[in-house]
Structure formats: C-alpha cells, structure tokens
Chain A
Amino acid sequence: MTKYILNRLFHSALVMFTISFIVFFIMFKAGDPVELMLPPDATQQDVVDMRAALGLDKSFIVQYQKFLVNVSKGNLGNSFIYGQPALDIVFERMPATMELAVIAMFISVLVGIPLGIISSIKPNSILSRIIMFFSLAGISVPVFWTGMILVLIFSVILGVLPSSGRGEVYLFTSAFTWDGIKHLIMPVATLAVFQLALILRLTRTGMMEVLMQDYIKLAAAKGVPRKVIVYYHALKNTLIPLITIIGIQFGQLVAFTIVTETIFAWPGTGKLIIDSIQNLDRPIVVAYLLVISFIFVAINFVVDVLYTFVDPRVRV
C-alpha cells in the first residue's frame, strides 16, 4: 500500500516537473516582453538594460536553473509587467475563480444526478426524452455561446442582471451578499450548463447499465422495493466511477472559467492568464500553470488512492 502511494507521489512530482519544463521552454521561445514594455522613445541601450534587469539575456539553461533554485525556495519569480511576485498575483485572483468553479460544480451535481436518475428509470417516457434532449443541447453548446446568450437576454434585453464583474465580497466569497449573488448567477449558469448535462448523461448511462445487471433483476424478483433498488444498490455502484469523473471534470471546469471570465470580466485567474500570455509575462504563466497542475495532480492522486479503498476489484 505504502509502495503504491509513494509510486503515485513520485509520478505526480514527475508530472509537475515535466510541465514546468515544457511551459518554461515554450514561454522562453515566445520571446521577451521588453519590446512591449518600453515606450517608443527608448533607445536600443534601454532595451538591452531592461533585458538584463529582468534576467532575460541569459541562456535557456541558466534561466531555467535559476528558476528551479527559486522554486525550491517557494519563489516563482516576479511578474515582468507588475513587478510583484507571480505566485502572489495568482493567489490573489484564485478565490474568484474557485468560487465560480465550486459553485458551478455543486449545482451541476445537485441537479444533474437526480435528473439523470429520473431519466434512467423509465428511459422512454416523455419526461425522460425531454430531459435527454435538453442534456444533449447542453453538451452541444460551447461555453462562450451560453454566456453570450445569457448576457444578451438578461442584461441587454431585460436589464435585470449586471453584465459583468464580481459583486461585493464577504468572507472571501461573494456568495453571501445579494449584490454578489446577482453577479454570480450568469457566470455560474454558463459554466454549469455543460457540466450539468454531462453529469446527467453519465448518471443516466451508468444507472441504465447497472439496472440491467442480473443482481438487480434478482433483487426485484426477491421483492425488494423499487426505491431501495434504485437509490441504494444501483446508485451506489454508479457513484464510484461518477466521482472519478467529477474529480477530473473539475479540472476542465477550472479551464473553462478562462472563457467565462473573459465574457463576464470576472477578476479571476482565467483573465489573468490570457492577459499574461498576450503580454509575454512568463512568470505569471508559469506560476498559474504550476498551481493548476498541482491542483489536478492532487485531485488525481486522491482519487487514485480512494479508488483502492472503495473498489475491491482494484487491488494493489
């Protein structure tokens, strides 16, 4: 068991290291931001000076080495543009993004699983077919389109919801203030639509497969009440793979916040990363990607280990 955990830990570290290398390399190739940062009346000498000041005149190996040394001290460098520690800037914006992702995931699960169960029990009923059609639409519509249409309807035409920005924050989140909630509704809905549809469909397929199994038929023959069959036996066996998927999908969700934040001018990390890529602000791009990969790697690690406890067929 310990061997397995250590193995996964090593694997996770390897992933992080590889990602940092690739990203650093790509950003290195992309060029430096000095040209963009200096005004037109700067001289060639100024460009050279600024490049040296930011440490960009050294070779790739030297720069990467310096980066690794700093990382071991917990320092991911200073943003070229803002001059402040990149990690601080990323963490400053994290709560806003996490807020969106967590609330969206919560809603997707809360609504998606029940709807999935309902549509799996009697798959050909009218209600099921309606649910299925909407879920199909849900996974067919790109995130940005959902956002656009919501803003068009609720902000521009009806004028009932604010078109952008984050509301008042209380205790790290804006979900506790009415102003905050008003600003949260559309971005969260935009993110949740796709997720909800996906979870719904997965639950449905999972439940349908399980309900066909022999042991279910046996239980029904034995006279076990319907409700118990569905909510206890079937659901239990569907939940395990579902939880795995939800864990992985959370990662996707965070990635899609990039699009949502762009549309709603939400001050999170998504907007930061797009701007930083445009501005060639390498430290922030690297810091962001490392933080995100850390989150995913951590989630994957936890899911992997949990799996061994939960699913008796997976023995290490």
Chain B
Amino acid sequence: MTIALSSRMPSGSISRRIAVWSGLILFAVILAAVPWFSTFAVQRLLVEALTLFAIALAWNLLAGYGGLVAVGLHVFVGVGAYALFATSNQLHLNPWMLLPAAAVFAATFALISAWPMFRLSGAHFAVGTWVLAEMMRILTLNSPSLGAGGGMPLEAMGDFDRWTRNAGVYWAALMVGAGSLIVARAVLRGPLGLALMSVRDSEPAALASGVPVSRSKIALWVLCAAMTGLAGAVAYMNTLQVTPDASFSLNWTAAAIFIAVLGGIGTLEGPIVGTIVYFALREFFADYGAWYFIGMGLLAIATMVAAPGGAWSLLPQRWRFDPFRVRRLMPELGPDRHASTPALNHDL
C-alpha cells in the first residue's frame, strides 16, 4: 500500500474537497451538454481534440514515465480503428458497443508486439516501433478483405440519424479523453506509477530494490496501446471511413509528440496545455500549408533546445501547483519543496 504524500497536504480539507468536486461535476455537465448548444462542426473539432489528447497522453506516459519513446505509436491508432470497423461491418453490431473490443484488440496486439520490440531499448525501440507501424500499413494496404488502399466505411453508422451520430461520437470521445486522464492519474498514484517513477529516476537502483522493471514497462505499453487504440477507433467513427495511409500515418504520432513536447514531457498537465496550444495554432495557421508544418517543427525544435520541460516548466516554481496529486514527496519535506522522489512512507 502506497501513500502518496498529496493526501497529507492541508489542501485535503472537507470544504475544499466539496468545492473541487462540485466544480468538476459542473464542468462535466457542461461538457456533456455540448451537443445541445453547438454545431456539428464544433463537435467534430472537439472529437478530434479529445481523441488526440488521449493519444498524446499515452505517448507522454510512455516517454515521460516509462522511458519508452514510441515513434510508431500510430500503429495502435490504425489497429484500433480497423478492429472497430472490421468487427462492426462483419457482425453488423452497434459500433459503440464494440469500442471495448477495439481497446482489447489493440492491447492484445501490443502484448504480442512487445516480444520483438522489447528486445530493443532507447532510441532503437523508438525507431523499431516505427518499423512495426510501417509493416501494418503495408499489410492493410495489400489486404483486399480490409478494403486495401481505399479502406472501408463504417456501415452501421447509416442506421443512425445525423444528430445521434454526431452526439454519440462526441460523448464517446469525451469518455475516452476524460477516461484516459482518470486512468493515467490512477496508475501514476498506484503501485505501477511508483515502480515506473523509480525506473525513470534510476533503472539499476529500481532493479536492485526489487522493482519488476520489464513487467512494469510492458504493463504501461499495453495500457497506452489500449488508450491509443480506443482513441483511434473513436477518431475514425468521426470520419466514417478508415484508410491505411491515414490511420497508420506518422502524423498521429507527430501531433502527439508536438503536444507532449510543447506542454511538458513527464507531467499530466503537459498534454492538456499542449492540446490547447496545438489546436489554437492549427485553427489560426493551418491555411499556410507547408509553412504551417515548418513553423510547428521549428517550434518543437526551439522548445527542445530552450525549454526541454515544455510550457509547464516555464511556470514559476511556486505557481506550479499539482492539480492531479501525482507528485510524490519525502515526508520530511514541506509540500512546497519540489521533488520527484518516491514516497518513503509506504508500508510494504
């Protein structure tokens, strides 16, 4: 049993908790009610933002907490989307009911792929996952049963009217976005998070103190694959048609990396900040075509050189509050002292 120090902070007082929870519930109600007071275009944009947020969060968990940089994370976007489309079209089932199946399929695929991929480490793992994504792209491109290069539509979506379809996809995206944040927070506060952070700080030390290093990394890999696969499935429910070149496209990972780098790698707040910045930039500058991508690339390079911790690290130390309470502090230290040291007060 692990006690994250955040629960001992004075901020856990009853009145404050009530304020936080009522604020969260109000926010959730407003978000859930979006389909009644917005256009389809807004909903589609929000679906894009929420699914991309979940993918960026998964990339950030892998890179920032597991030390697993996956340049080929987009393989799970495609696998999740194709799993949903193929099973729904084959079995003529409601695609919303099949979303868990897409997540399970992506997780299974991740578990199998861990066998060759975890032979590689560091930068080699990063490029190795990209090889995996390329393989899956070429394979679907050459599979007539999956529609080959033209891809396939989600036939069951024709049974629903336009409002239900859009609202349903939006609610699914909301569940994916909020759900992955909740899961990520729970994981980081739990034993897996403790293990991962100890590996991040010093792998040999973690190994020596009995942390199951490779098992923890594989668990994180499978979890992030499920998150990415689910997000991919919902993202393609939004577009109604999946193609190999779009779903197994590096652009998914590039956007996720951009969001994580800009917001701050190794934090939960980073992807939230990054997603907002990413979509704001895209809405304003996407019309500039190639110049937009050149600007984005240069911005990412500048961030890596000047502020490798991303936007979140630019906040002054005392404003850097910990809304998700995933930071672990030594019991002797005051709550204002920043440290990523694992808690020592756990009774094993």
Q: Do A and B bind each other?
A: no
